[in-house]
Amino acid sequence: MADQVEPPPLAPLFENVDIDRLANENDDDLFVSARQDSPQLVQEFSENEKTNGYSPLSKIKSKELKGDMENVPISNSDPASKTSMEQVEPENRDEFLEINITEPQKVGEGMGAYMAFRVTTRTNMPLFKRREFSVTRRFSDFLGLHDKLTEKYLKVGRIIPPAPEKSVIGMTKIKISSQPEGNGTNGNDFIERRRASLERYLKRTAQHPVLILDPDFREFLESDIELPKATSTSALSSAGVMRLFNKVGETVNKITYKMDETDPWFEEKLAHVEALEIQLRKLHASVEAMVSYRKELGHLTNGVSRSAALLSACEDHSSLSKALSQLADTEEKVEALHLEQANTDFFILCELLKDYLGLLGAVRDAFHERTKLFQHWQHSQQMLAKKRETKAKLELNNRAEKLDLANAEVVEWQSKVERGQENFDKISQMIKKEMERFEKCRIQDFKTVFIKYLENHLEHQAQLVKYWEAFLPEAKAIA
C-alpha cells in the first residue's frame, strides 16, 4: 500500500521573507519565533523531544517528512525565561527617564545628505551607567531600533509603538536645499515635525515596562558610537522592496483568512479597535482642516493689516488715521496669534491623533500575530489527524515495517499540537495584558493633551480679548 501523500501546509498566501535577520543571532533573546527556518533550530527541537521522553526515532526519521511546516517547530522556549522580563514592573515609582531631541543638523550635501539629531537623556534608573548623556542619531537609526524591537517582541503579543513614517518628498527638499540647516518656512516645519515625532516615539517606547529594559533600546540612548547603518530601512533598497511584498502578503492574508474566534473578548476588543480607528481618522482629518483654516485666517488677517496701514497713510483726518494705524497694528498681532494657535492645534492635538492611529495599527499587528499562531496550531491538528489515519491504515494492513515511522510522526505532530496550543494561549494572555496597559495609557494621554490644549486655547482667546480691548479707546477717540 502506497504511503499517503501529505497535504500542503495551510500557510498564508504570501510567506514572510526574513530580510533583517543577522548572521549571528543574539543568543540572549528570550523569545523564539513561532515560525523559524533555521536547520539548527530543527535539530534543537529534535533534541528537546528526546529529553522530554519522546522516541528518538523521530529524530532519525524527521528528515523524511515532507512539507514546509513539518520541520518548523513551534516555540518551545522555557516559560520561566519569558516571565523574567514579561512580568517586570517598575519597583521604584520615583525613578524617571526624560528624553529630549534637539539640535537637528544637516550632514553632507546632495542626495547623500541626511538629518542628524541630538538625543539627550536624563535618568536616575540604575539600568544606565550615567545620570545624563547625549548621543547623535540619524532617522534611519530610529527605524532600525523599531525593527529590532518588533522582531523580538511582536511575535509574543507585545504592542510596539510605531516609528515615524518616512517622508521622501520632505527629505528630498532638505537634501537639495542650498541652505545648511534646511532653513526656510517649509524646511523648518518639516524638520520640527520630524524632531517632535521622533521624540514622542522614544518617550512612548520608554513608557513600556519591558521595552525600556531592552539592550538595543538602552544602547540606542546611551552608546556614544555610530550605530551600524540600517540599510534595510531604505524605501529604495532591495530589502525595502521585499518588505513591501511582505506587507502586501500580510494584508491579503488578513483579508482572506477569518479566524473562528472562541474568545468573545477578542471579538469585542477588535470591533472596538476598528470603530475607534474610524472615528479617530475622521477627527484627525477635521483637525487637519481646522489647522489649514487657521493658517489661512492668519494670512487673510495680514491682508487686512496691510490695507488698514495703507488707508491710514492717505487719510487726512488725524484721529481716524491714527485709529486705522492702530487697527493695522492690532490685526498684525492677531495674525501672529492665529498662526500660533494653528501650531498649537497641530503639535498638541493633531499629532496625538496621528500617533494613536499608528498605535491602533500596532494593536492590529499584535492581534494578527495571534491569528498566525492559530493558523499553525490548526495546521498541526490537521496533520496529526492525517498521521493518525495513516497509522491506523498501516495497522489494518499489517505493515509493521512502516509502523515505527508512523508512530514517530504521530508523536512529533502531537508535540507540535500541544506546543501550538500552549503558545496560542500565551499570546492570548499577553495581548489581554498589553491591551489593559494600552487603554490606561490612552485615557491618560488624551486627558493630559485635552487639558493642555484647552489651557492654550484659553490663553490665546484671553490674549485676543486684550488686543481688542487695547484698540477700543482709539476707536472711541475718533472725533
Higher pLDDT, 69 or 233: 233
Which residue, 423, 438, 424, 155, is CA-closest to 269?
438
The span from the CA of 427 to the CA of 28, in Å, is: 20
Which residue, 142, 147, 209, 149, is CA-closest to 438?
209
CB neighbour list of residue 98: distance below 8 Å, 6 or more residues apart: 121, 122, 123
Strand partners for 116: 105, 138
Q: Domains in the chain, ordered, with CATH?
A: 95-231 (3.30.1520.10), 248-479 (1.20.1270.60)
| Burial (0-12, 13-18, 19+ Cβ within 10 Å), 416 | buried
Q: SS3 breakdown of the chain: % helix, strand, coil, rounded to 5?
A: 65, 5, 25
Q: List Cα–Cα distances, 312 to 48, 293, 298, 467, in angstroms.
A: 90, 28, 21, 19
pLDDT band at 175 (very low <50, low <70, confident <90, very high): low
Answer whether 373's CB lies under 8 Å from 423's CB. Answer: yes
CB neighbour list of residue 128: distance below 8 Å, 6 or more residues apart: 121, 218, 221, 222
Query: pLDDT at residue 125 above 70?
Result: yes
Q: Could you tell me the end-to-end alpha-carbon distance of the chain, in angstroms, rounded to an integer?
A: 115
% of the chain exceeding 90 in pLDDT:
54
**pLDDT digits over 330-362, tens only?**
999 999 999 999 999 999 999 999 999 999 999
The span from the CA of 361 to the CA of 273, in Å, is: 9
The span from the CA of 450 to the CA of 454, in Å, is: 6
**pLDDT digits over 224-260, tens only?**
887 776 655 555 455 555 555 555 555 655 555 667 7
* Element at 38 (helix H, strand E): none
Least confident of 91-95, 301-305, 323-327: 91-95
* Element at 137 (helix H, strand E): strand 132-138
Higher pLDDT, 299 or 166: 299
Let me know how many helices (H) and strands (E) the chain has, helices first: 12, 3
Rg for the chain (alpha carbons), in Å?
30
Query: pLDDT at residue 67 above 80?
Result: no
DSSP 247-311: HHHHHHHHHH-------HHHHHHHHHHHHHHHHHHHHHHHHHHHHHHHHHHHHHHHHHHHHHHHH
Answer whether 259's CB lies under 8 Å from 371's CB. Answer: yes
The x, y and z cell numbers of residue 295, run together, are 493658517
Average pLDDT, the chain: 78
pLDDT band at 187 (very low <50, low <70, confident <90, very high): low
